[in-house]
Amino acid sequence: MFGMVAPAQAWTGGNVWVNFGSWNCPAGGSVVGIYWAVDAYSSGPATGDWGDNVIYPRVRVGSGSFNTLSYQLMCKKWGWYTYRGVVSQRTLTPYKSGLSYTY
């Protein structure tokens, strides 16, 4: 007789907070805009997410969740000079919606 195995719980959709610190601006300044996408699952506005250093992307949450957040930060320095930061990626595996990550 074979044992019964419970099916693995699948991931569901949710959102998490992602905060980017000013240390991500290689030439100094602070984060004022973010271009981002989570795999092919969700993405920010084509014109970028402007006004602060925080995004609230739609991600996969729960058992089996695996997300690759790709982003490019826009940094502002001297009150007028805005420049593009390095393109980067982070892996997110949230167990529930509403979690906060700081990079």
Q: Could you tell me the residue ranges of all domains in the chain?
A: 12-102
Categorize the per-residue pLDDT at 4 as very low, low, confident or very high, splitting at 50, 70 and 90.
low
Amino acid at residue number 67: N
Would you say 34 and 90 are in contact if contact means Cβ atoms under 8 Å apart? Answer: no
Taking only the tens place, the pLDDT of each residue in 26-77 is 999 999 999 999 999 999 999 999 999 999 999 999 998 999 999 999 999 9
pLDDT at 87: 93
Q: What is the pTM of this model?
A: 0.87
pLDDT at 86: 85
Q: Please give the C-alpha separations between residue 50 and each of 38, 72, 77, 96, in angstroms, as whole numbers.
A: 18, 12, 15, 26
pLDDT above 60 for 3 = no
12-102 classified as CATH 2.170.150: no
